[in-house]
Amino acid sequence: MGAGDASAWVDTNLIDGTVNAAGWITRFTATVSKWWDKWIIDGIGVNGPAVVLRALSYPMRLVQWGLVQWYALVMVLGLTGFICYYAFR
């Protein structure tokens, strides 16, 4: 019975313990990886700068119409104002 008890102890404590420890390490690593991906990579790394740039780009979207005619008109008005300022100063 001594060899059987020793074999059962080795199986219970060493073999099963090693397998259970590997499973625990895998679950722990997956949990840390999931947290890191959700809060650091997606939160701060990717979505954080996107939110900041979207907020900063809003004022530019108010004056960016995408029509060349409007840009030309604004440039002509600005040039006219510039010339009038220095001509009548």
Provide the residue ranges of all domains of the chain, joining segments of one domain with +.
2-64
CB-facing half-sphere around the CA of 86: CA atoms within 13 A: 5
Q: What is the pLDDT of residues 26-84, one digit of tens each?
A: 999 999 999 999 998 888 888 888 888 889 888 888 877 778 888 899 999 999 999 99
Compute the mean pLDDT over every residue in the chain, rounded to the nearest whole number: 90
* Residues ≥6 apart with Cβ < 8 Å to 65: 71
pLDDT reported for residue 48: 85
Provide long-range contacts, Cβ within 8 A and 24+ apart, for 71-74: none
Where does the pLDDT of residue 20 fall: very low under 50, low under 70, confident under 90, or very high at 90 and above?
very high
Is it the case that residue 85 has pLDDT exceeding 70? yes
Quote the CA–CA distance of 77 and 70 in Å, as a whole number: 10
